[in-house]
Structure 1
Amino acid sequence: MTSATRRPETPASTVPTRLIATDLDGTLLHDDKTVSARTIAALAAAEQAGIEVFFVTGRPARWMDVVSDHVHGHGLAICGNGAAVVDLHGGPGAHRFVKVRELAPDIALDVIQLLRATAPGTVCAVERTFGLHLEPGYPLMHMEPPEIVSPAEKLLAKDALDADQPVLKVLAFHPEMDPDDFLTVARTAIGTRANVTRSSPSALLEISGPGVSKASTLELCCAERGIAPEEVAAFGDMPNDVEMLTWAGRSYAMGNAHPAAVAAASGRTAPNNEDGVAIVIERILAERL
């Protein structure tokens, strides 16, 4: 389910929240990438009250150390915009992939070639389960050095190094285009071949397999637990959160959110630097008293 049409919201008083789904960057985390003491306490209180908490992020699993200490219960996170479900128990370096929804290498290459033709100057990176591989000219904007630097044709070849690792997503960067314009152009060019979104302030797109999004993977995880959309409260701030904010029965765009996230959400909370997620969790817990 990836529709951007909001369902009518069920009154919160009639359907208790059973699961909280929250984005990280620009949402749960402060701009300095820390989790505040208030937010840590709110997450722990939610779990203690029997409400599951899912971190739902565009980050890869290896960038989840910032919240690994704050998982409780199941300890699962949805990473790569829905491309993977990861068990964060065990701490750094011990993350276990529970579910992978990969982007087929031939489709990934097809998408990259379409973007090159439609938006000349586009350079790409390939995100596999355990590493990031870049094309020459792709900016070093991420948290780690690349493992391989080579044209996409080689990065995605059948005999490429790490070819045994699934492709989670393609990152596409344009040095000059407006970020929202780049997203529109890419979605038009790619169509249903893959899911295209963005979460960065720069013209950086995130491309996953067809139908793969935060919302569709969250929906799978909730179905496994017998949790309905009306029992989910979701938080986000960027276009890659739109489907999730639309799907959840209660959803909140941050005070710092992109207009697309604001339009998709059923509510609004304070900015990330003012603990907007914690404020709503505290209110949800108060409703249960």
Structure 2
Amino acid sequence: MGEDGPVTAAAQERPAPRLIATDLDGTLLRDDKSVSERTVAALAAAEAAGIEVFFVTGRPARWMDVVSEHVHGHGLAICANGAAVVDLHGGRRFVEVRALARPAALQVVEALRTVAPHSSFAVETTTGINYEPAYPPFYMDPGATVATAEKLLREQTDEDSAPVLKLLAHHPELSPDDFLELARSAAGEFATITRSSPTALLEISGPGVSKASTLAHCCAERGISPEEVVAFGDMPNDVEMLTWAGTSYAMGNAHPAVLAAASGRTVANNEDGVAVVIEQILAARTA
């Protein structure tokens, strides 16, 4: 145990890391949504040492300004829980999109209206977000269309409209984990359902779309194996990624499912847990 608190890792005898994959909210970012100077320095040092850094987040591309200035070299991020790969340079250009088909999204809406009355929905596309009148005011967009999810999803077809990155579902009474379990049971055959919010807000992507599956694809393109990846996360939408990576760390503030999935544990986001591990990785290289 050092001055930063306990950092543990079960993974041993791994190849030298070639890529660091980190979640943002609750992981790389502090609770005030800032990136500390220590973390900025650690990211820059990793890339200077030849280790790629991928931001892998549930955030849409339009919310990536918080880290854009800290990206060096490639400038790629996996957004919307794997639904998009985005170039953070040059206006957040979409490099790849793994859309949720509108018919499948409608099936999820129908299923959740049946098993979880009072659910409200928002539709995140490559051009912005639209939502129902009852959807809570998390981040209201003055340019959004406000209508029922059925209308939002049927207004246009997949062929002539902006791709749907994810469907969001909120429930005012259920606990977050209960809502997730209920939704997966009722609609898991139509989509990938996860959550990263402390509220009962679900994030719904196309079948097979997750942070892990898109990260695996990006790594395969670069000839990087899972054993050469170090991943960090704190919420259920990180579980698949942490399981896939050869070495993974749950933050000290992580959800119990994340603590169970990761091979190691670092200190909390407000204590710069990602930076602590990166510094250890780089120190080991020069030891």
Normalising by the smaller structure, the TM-score range is over 0.9
Structure 1: runs of 5 or more not aligned: 1-8
Confirm whether residue 117 of structure 1 aligns to residue 117 of structure 2. no
Corresponding residue for residue 72 of structure 1: 72
Output the amino acid matched with 2:24: L
Corresponding residue for residue 84 of structure 1: 84
Output the amino acid matched with 2:156: D
User: Post-superposition shift, 1:146?
Assistant: 5.5
Distance in structure 1 (CA, Å) of the matches to 2:93 and 2:156? 25
Corresponding residue for residue 255 of structure 2: 258
CA RMSD of aligned residues (A): 1.7
Corresponding residue for residue 20 of structure 2: 20
Distance in structure 1 (CA, Å) of the matches to 2:141 and 2:65? 13
User: Post-superposition shift, 1:163?
Assistant: 5.5
**Aligned residues of 1:196 and 1:207 also touching (Cα < 8 A):** yes
Query: 1:214-233 maps to which residues of 2 (within 5 A)?
Result: 214-233=211-230
Corresponding residue for residue 186 of structure 1: 183
**Aligned residues of 2:11 and 2:263 also touching (Cα < 8 A):** no
Structure 2: runs of 5 or more not aligned: 1-9
What is the number of residues matched between the two proteins?
Answer: 278
4+ aligned runs moved over 4 Å, structure 1: none
Distance in structure 2 (CA, Å) of the matches to 1:76 and 1:65? 13
Corresponding residue for residue 12 of structure 2: 11
Instruction: Show CA shifts across 1:27-71 (max 9, x none).
Output: 000000000000000000000000000000000000000000011
Corresponding residue for residue 271 of structure 2: 274
User: Post-superposition shift, 1:10?
Assistant: 5.2
Output the amino acid matched with 1:261: V
Distance in structure 2 (CA, Å) of the matches to 1:79 and 1:222? 15
Identical-residue share of aligned pairs (%)? 71
**Aligned residues of 2:120 and 2:170 also touching (Cα < 8 A):** yes
Corresponding residue for residue 38 of structure 2: 38
Output the amino acid matched with 2:41: A
Output the amino acid matched with 1:106: P
Distance in structure 2 (CA, Å) of the matches to 1:261 and 1:127? 25
**Aligned residues of 1:157 and 1:163 also touching (Cα < 8 A):** no
Instruction: Show CA shifts across 1:223-254 (max 9, x none).
Output: 00000000000000000000001000000000
Distance in structure 2 (CA, Å) of the matches to 1:267 and 1:39? 19
Corresponding residue for residue 205 of structure 1: 202
Output the amino acid matched with 2:12: P
Corresponding residue for residue 244 of structure 1: 241
Aligned partner of residue 257 in structure 2, secondary structure: helix
Output the amino acid matched with 1:57: T
**Aligned residues of 1:156 and 1:163 also touching (Cα < 8 A):** no
Aligned partner of residue 149 in structure 1, secondary structure: coil
**Aligned residues of 2:235 and 2:258 also touching (Cα < 8 A):** yes
Aligned partner of residue 197 in structure 2, secondary structure: coil
Distance in structure 1 (CA, Å) of the matches to 2:228 and 2:125? 33
**Aligned residues of 1:75 and 1:89 also touching (Cα < 8 A):** yes
Equivalent position to 1:164, from 149, 161, 165 = 161
Query: 1:136-151 maps to which residues of 2 (within 5 A)?
Result: 136-142=133-139, 144-145=141-142, 147-151=144-148
Distance in structure 2 (CA, Å) of the matches to 1:158 and 1:258? 38
**Aligned residues of 2:11 and 2:264 also touching (Cα < 8 A):** no
**Aligned residues of 1:125 and 1:133 also touching (Cα < 8 A):** yes
Output the amino acid matched with 1:222: C
Distance in structure 2 (CA, Å) of the matches to 1:254 and 1:145? 35
Distance in structure 1 (CA, Å) of the matches to 2:79 and 2:211? 8
User: Post-superposition shift, 1:73?
Assistant: 1.1
TM-score (norm 2): 0.94
**Aligned residues of 1:81 and 1:214 also touching (Cα < 8 A):** yes
Q: 1:163 to 1:32 in 2, by over 3 A?
A: farther
Distance in structure 1 (CA, Å) of the matches to 2:146 and 2:160? 14
Distance in structure 1 (CA, Å) of the matches to 2:221 and 2:257? 29
Distance in structure 1 (CA, Å) of the matches to 2:72 and 2:108? 38
User: Post-superposition shift, 1:158?
Assistant: 4.3
